[in-house]
Structure 1
Amino acid sequence: MNSLIQKYNVPGPRYTSYPTVPFWDETTFSETVWVRHLQQAFSISNSTTGISLYIHLPYCESLCTFCGCNKRITRNHAVEGPYVDALLTEWNLYCDILPDRPRIAELHLGGGTPSFFSTGQLNRLLTGIFNRATPTESPDYGWEGHPNNTTSEHLQLLYNFGFRRVSFGVQDYTPIVQRAIHRLQPFGNVRQVTGWARQIGYTSISHDLVFGLPFQKPDSIIDTIHKTLTLQPDRIAFYSYAHVPWIEGINGQRGFRDEDLPTGDQKRVLYETGRELLELAGYIEIGMDHFALPHDLLYNAVQMGTLHRNFMGYTTTKTRVLLGLGASSISDVWSAFAQNEKDPNRYMNRVLAGELPLLRGHILDDQDQFLRQQILNIMCQGQTRWPLGSWSKREWETLNNRLKEFWLDGLLDYDVEGLSVRPEGRPFLRNICMAFDERLNYAQPQTRLFSQTV
């Protein structure tokens, strides 16, 4: 395994979309084209599956130096009101151009730190959203809470709006690791908010753990997971730390030295240690970096073949329209992507001037959509099939050469109609998907764009 880790530990996307953002072609994108694609997708799906809505709340009171998210650090809570004003304005701009009242099947509040916002502002935000929308019959609403500032009032308010999922960022309980990543968070706080959520009635509580952090050792993982298991979260996201300090806006990752990080081989030991403990405790591995107990809807989606992956990660809900509100949010209507302004101030200024705050986008051609489906199948199901004749002779020769290497290493089986990833290949899902990524392979980027795949 160590030799394979050394071979395949290369920079690569996490494939929450295809094409990935660095390879979007903006030459065919415009607001007019984006709105047309959105309206077409909405007309197809709203009356049947409904739509998904992601709302980005970017503010945090302190900087966590492992974080790769788009965020703004401030202790000034006066920013809450103007930002909520902008979110509701953007929502109303979209509702005005949609042909019907939206039905929201999936709603997620992400960050940043959603629990940075007061219950009063969150109530105002969600009341404004549902003034112009209707929940579907069985909605899936979730949000991200910080154990240090989530209150029972936060949990109850969001529960009253239909939220039944909540995820708490834990990362690691080891003091030296917490100090390195500037995330000082006692186990007692996590136990308290988990207990509150369960008492209120949340049916899916998730803990986010991270492996590959600075100074992390197998003992750190063992202690963190043992503590986590005493709380029995329904889901556990066991993420690989993505070290990307060169990306604009996340320079906090330079708060520790590269030599403080585990090597690729050491990182894999951390993952295997954690995975074994989780599986012994009854958790089932799902897709990449996720685990769930058998009663959770995420596990049920795997069993039913309905697991989906989008810019929010793995989800049990598949809609044709994912609308992203807020700074840096990305919208997806299958045939087109659009991303908002990343800077919160630029985002608010444009929205409050009556503009859709679009920064960039991409219109997917037929090949994009075909390759996107193959990558989605691999990430969600560990296999994919395609009709005979899907590839030209030259395309197949190229793909065959890429896949043959994985087959020789015992990671997958394939033929002219599809492939299936072996259990030994699960750690290398991102690498396997890269074989299908024509835009990445064509560009052959010479600068660092992605974190390491292992």
Structure 2
Amino acid sequence: MTTSLVQKYNVPGPRYTSYPTVPYWDETTFSVESWKKSFIKSFSESNVSEGISLYIHLPFCESLCTFCGCHKRITKRHEVEHPYIEAVLKEWNLYCDVFPEKPIIKEIHLGGGTPTFFSPENLENLINGIFKRAEKAKDHEFSFEGHPNNTTREHLQRLYNLGFRRVSFGVQDYSDKVQQAIHRIQPFHNVAKVTFWAKEIGYTSISHDLIFGLPFQTLENIVDTIEKTKALSPDRLAFYSYAHVPWIKGNGQRGFKDEDVPKDDEKRRLYEVGKQLLAKKGYHEIGMDHFAHKKDSMFQAFQEGKLHRNFMGYTSSKTQLMIGLGASSISDSWYGFAQNEKTLEDYYTRLENNEIPVCKGHILNDEDLIIRKHILNLMCQFTTSWDDNYFYFEELPEVLLQLQEMENDGLLIIQHNAITVTEKGKPFVRNICMAFDLRLKRNAPQTQLFSMTV
């Protein structure tokens, strides 16, 4: 990758876990009633044929990791577990009261926060409570995020007994200096222990999350982290870019300064070296920032053109409807998005009033649905196509001009009614998606809302 391309395309841009992106959701016209209509429509169309997905946000952490951009509540008081699970189950029952038939659950993902903050017994009560009013799809895929420092063998065994076969462990980087800076002290032997436990119990897909661009991170750190990762041989990897957005998330208790964070060419080199090492270790690049062995279901989904992406990340299976439960969770009906109240206090208050606790969202119009499909194709398969009626908006000349300029730079190939991202263009897939993002073009933010794309 040339320095000139990085300088040209390294601009603030969305990660496109949704389209329209969250800053463009219309809070003035969105309502709980419009959201109900949206998810009932989606449920009626797809529950029997493919089931639904649940994302359950478990927000508690015992300490603050300063690289994290998720909604969380820092506490060591574990008495918060039971009332939170009761609240989540009440929210689920409010949805079940509206569904026209019994939901069939294909996917569950427990995210955070730190899901393994909760005791194995409480997590079991949560899942059993969900299935008091739901059925389990035959081809279900249940997953959870585990913190290597507090995930016990009992966590892994109980969740396995409940049908979980995928687990993701947050690693980030094995450098002591980096770990000190991001307040995430996590020895290699803790990661090794939980990884081997998961393999012994029978988990079929074990993932490690790595991050590049962290403060004080060097090429030597990346090489060492990937060598250690290979020794544990997880089935898949996420190799994320650290999103340095202190103007949004604040400085927190971070142990570093802005100048300690790798930027531009230096940061991109960390990824390129890591990517080459992972390829040598037998991992294949999938979508954006993800890698997997050939035997993993994510690789197979990518090969078959079935890879999907939503607020849970990349997934090898797809459901039209994803319900988000818990404070700050986001739901997706394909026709609309809805986000829950972000603070625990507001979340609990809405549930006490027997209200589905969504606070904002967006119902997609016809143009949104078309653009969303193309951005999803690009993010998942690095290609998209359209018919002759697709480009009906006034911004057509501007979109084509951007695509042609990117083709001149070798980032994509324009065919008749289709584009394909080249190998050279994969690191710039967010920029390519931005060419289609009409809401961003029409109303560019006055302040920086997004992390840098490269």
TM-score tier by shorter-chain length is over 0.9
In 2, the alpha carbon distance for the partners of 1:98 and 1:374 equals 30
Query: What corresponds to 1:132 in structure 2?
Result: 133
After alignment, is 387-396 or 210-219 more displaced?
387-396
Structure 1 vs Structure 2 CA RMSD: 1.1
Structure-2 separation of matches of 1:359 and 1:331: 12
Q: How does 1:54-453 map to 2 (within 5 A)?
A: 54-248=55-249, 251-252=251-252, 254-392=254-392, 394-453=394-453
Which amino acid in the other structure matches residue 365 of structure 1?
N
- Residue type of the alignment partner of 1:106: E
Q: Distance in 1 between matches of 2:239 and 2:194?
A: 19
Give yes or no for contact 1:245–1:254 (8 Å, CA) kept in 2: no
Aligned-partner Cα distance in 2 for 1:111–1:118: 14
Report the alpha carbon displacement of residue 395 of structure 1 after superposing the two structures with TM. 3.1
Question: Separation in 1 of the partners of 2:253 and 2:264?
Answer: 18
Distance 1:452 1:254, change over 3 A: farther
Cα distance change on mapping 1:124 and 1:130 into 2, 3 Å: same
Task: Provide the C-alpha distance between the structure 2 equivalents of 1:232 and 1:428, rounded to a whole number of angstroms.
Answer: 28
Distance 1:394 1:224 in 2: 48
Give CA deviations for 1:94-145 in whole Å, capped at 9, x if unaligned. 0000001110001000000000001121111111001111110110110000
Give the drift of 1:270: 0.4
Asked if the contact 2:298/2:315 (under 8 Å) is kept, the reply is yes
Q: Give yes or no for contact 1:60–1:74 (8 Å, CA) kept in 2.
A: yes
Q: Give the letter for the 2:315 counterpart.
A: T
Distance 2:414 2:68 in 1: 37
SS of the counterpart of 1:26? Answer: coil
1:352, distance to aligned residue in structure 2 (A): 2.6
Which residue identity lines up with residue 194 of structure 1 in the other structure? T
* Shift of residue 70, structure 1, vs aligned partner: 0.8
Distance in 2 (CA, whole Å) between partners of 1:326 and 1:286 is: 29
How far apart in 1 are the matches of 2:133 and 2:393? 51
Secondary structure class of the residue paired with 2:159: helix
Residues 303 and 448 of structure 1: is their aligned pair in 2 closer, same or farther, counting only changes over 3 Å? Answer: same
Q: TM-score, length-normalised on structure 2?
A: 0.98
Distance 2:207 2:201 in 1: 15
Please tell me the residue identity of whatever aligns with 1:291: F
Q: Which moved more, 1:406-415 or 1:295-304?
A: 406-415
SS of residue in 2 equivalent to 1:28: coil
Q: Which moved more, 1:207-216 or 1:346-355?
A: 346-355
**SS class of match (1:47):** helix
Pick closer, same or farther for the CA change 1:418–1:253 going to 2, 3 Å: farther
For residues 388 and 361 of structure 2, the distance between their equivalents in structure 1, rounded to whole angstroms, comes to: 32
- Checking the alignment, whether the CA contact within 8 Å between 1:66 and 1:253 is kept in structure 2 is no
CA distance in 2, matches of 1:161, 1:64: 29
The structure-2 alpha-carbon separation of the partners of 1:442 and 1:255, relative to structure 1 and needing over 3 Å to count, comes to: farther
* C-alpha separation in 2, matches of 1:253 and 1:322: 34
The answer on whether the counterparts of 1:55 and 1:110 sit within 8 Å (CA) in structure 2 is: yes
Q: What SS does structure 1 have at the residue aligned with 2:217?
A: coil
Unaligned runs of 5+ in 2: none
The structural deviation recorded for 1:253 is 7.1
Shift of 1:411: 0.5
Residue 30 of structure 1 and its aligned partner are, at CA, apart by 1.1
C-alpha distance after superposition, 1:4-39 (max 9, x if no partner): 111111111111110000011223321111101111
CA contact (8 A) 2:167 2:207 kept: yes
Q: Distance in 2 between matches of 1:442 and 1:253?
A: 37
Q: Are 2:238 and 2:290, in contact at CA under 8 Å, matched by a contact in 1?
A: yes
Could you tell me whether the CA contact under 8 Å between 2:61 and 2:72 is conserved in 1? yes
Whether the 8 Å contact between 1:167 and 1:206 is mirrored in structure 2 is: yes
CA distance in 2, matches of 1:251, 1:55: 27
TM-score w.r.t. length of structure 1:
0.98
Alpha-carbon shift at residue 389 of structure 1 (Å): 2.4
1:328-385 Cα offsets, whole Å, 9 max, x none, are: 1000001111000011121122113211111101010000000000000000000000
Query: Is the Cα contact below 8 Å between 2:182 and 2:254 reproduced in 1?
Result: no
How many residue pairs get aligned? The number is 453
Tell me the distance in 2 between the aligned counterparts of 1:37 and 1:366.
14
Deviation at 1:232, TM superposition (A): 0.3
Which ranges in structure 1 are unaligned for 5 or more consecutive residues? Answer: none
Q: Aligned partners of 1:331 and 1:426: how far apart in 2?
A: 28
SS of the residue 1:327 aligns to: coil
Deviation, 1:443, is 1.0
The structure 1 segments of at least 4 consecutive aligned residues displaced by more than 4 Å after TM superposition are none
Aligned equivalents of 2:352, 2:255: Cα separation in 1: 36
> SS state of the match for residue 46, structure 1?
helix
Structure 1 equivalent of residue 49 of structure 2: 48
- Cα 1:393–1:21 shift into 2, 3 Å: closer
The separation in 2 between residues aligned to 1:407 and 1:101, in whole angstroms, is 49
Answer whether contact 2:15 2:430 (CA < 8 A) is retained.
yes
Query: Shift of the alpha carbon at 1:263?
Result: 1.6
Q: Please say if residues 67 and 253 of structure 1, whose CA atoms lie closer than 8 Å, have aligned partners that are also in contact.
A: no
Show CA shifts across 1:393-435 (max 9, x none): 7432121111112111111011450100000000000010000
User: SS where residue 425 of structure 2 aligns?
Assistant: helix
Indicate conservation of the 8 Å contact 1:244/1:253, yes or no. Answer: no
Aligned to 1:33: 34
Partner Cα distance (2:157, 2:164) in 1: 9
Once residues 393 and 132 of structure 1 are traced to their aligned partners in structure 2, the CA distance between those partners, rounded to angstroms, is 45
Q: Secondary structure of 1:424's match? A: coil
Deviations 1:288-316 (A, max 9, x none): 00000000000000111100001111001
